[in-house]
Chains A and B, each alone.
Chain A
């Protein structure tokens, strides 16, 4: 188990990614799995940094765990900001043409598509978002 407690501000993204990538390296995660996991971490962290505590800032706790005899990893993100379920948002229509498509709105969709499991709960005043990815050694 590895844990990081850090101010949820975009300026800390590099440190968050460095923390997660060192965990993934310890697990000998392949580049094929590493990139989608890092993308998921970025999307979730940046979401919290942008919205959870607005207009002030607050902390986020990130916990990385090995599960299923190291066949999978689980990363959870906890903040004490306003309750917000990112999974409640409707998926973007990825079949629209370039002209019709909005510029953004893909972040959480990418997380849902690339992870094997995503889960949100609001418990004890905390938003807890957990992702799981099976890694193929």
Chain B
């Protein structure tokens, strides 16, 4: 998995590529814990995300809980397969997926 970030004032976009799984999720979690302070608008760009498991969903939920308190969060460009997982787990109704 590769994590790329782009910050513009209080807006942060995180581009993920590869696989967000049990092995790679802790890396994203520690990035999020460092970077979200003062962020009001968080965007996850999933255009190159090939795969997500429950370990990845945990981190997305952690980020959503933080952002619900301090601003907003959006997930963009997810593949059909990843969207299907958001559907099944009910994430579609609590996360802004575009």
Query: Which residues on A are within 8 Å of B, measured CB to CB?
Result: 10, 13-14, 17, 31-32, 35-36, 38-39, 42-43, 46, 94-99, 101, 103-104, 106-107, 109-110, 113-114
Contact = CB atoms under 8 A, between A and B. Distances in A.
B41 interface: no
A103 B54 contact: no
A32 B79 CA distance: 10
18 contacts: A10-B22, A31-B81, A35-B81, A36-B84, A39-B52, A39-B53, A39-B54, A39-B85, A43-B54, A96-B90, A98-B68, A103-B61, A103-B62, A106-B58, A107-B53, A110-B88, A110-B89, A114-B88
A99 B90 contact: no
Given A42-B55, A106-B54, A110-B54, 9 more contacts: A35-B84, A39-B51, A39-B54, A42-B22, A95-B93, A97-B94, A98-B64, A103-B61, A106-B89
Contact of B23 (A14, A36, A106): A14
Contact of B65 (A36, A98, A106, A107): A98
Chain B: interface size category: 20 to 34
Given A31-B81, A109-B89, A98 B95 contact: yes
The 3 closest A-B pairs by CB, nearest first: A94-B90, A107-B54, A35-B81
Interface string B19-30: 001110000000
Interface of B: 21-23, 51-55, 57-58, 61-62, 64-65, 68, 80-82, 84-85, 88-90, 93-95
B94 A113 contact: no
The SS class assigned to the A binding surface is helix
Given A39-B85, A110-B88, A99 B68 contact: yes
Given A98-B61, A98-B94, A13 B22 contact: yes
Nearest to A35: B81
Contacts of B22: 10, 13, 42, 46
A113 B55 contact: no
B51 to A, nearest CB: 6
A92 to B, nearest CB: 8
Contacts of B95: 98
Which of B52, B53, B65, B90 is packed against the most chain A CB atoms within 10 Å?
Answer: B53
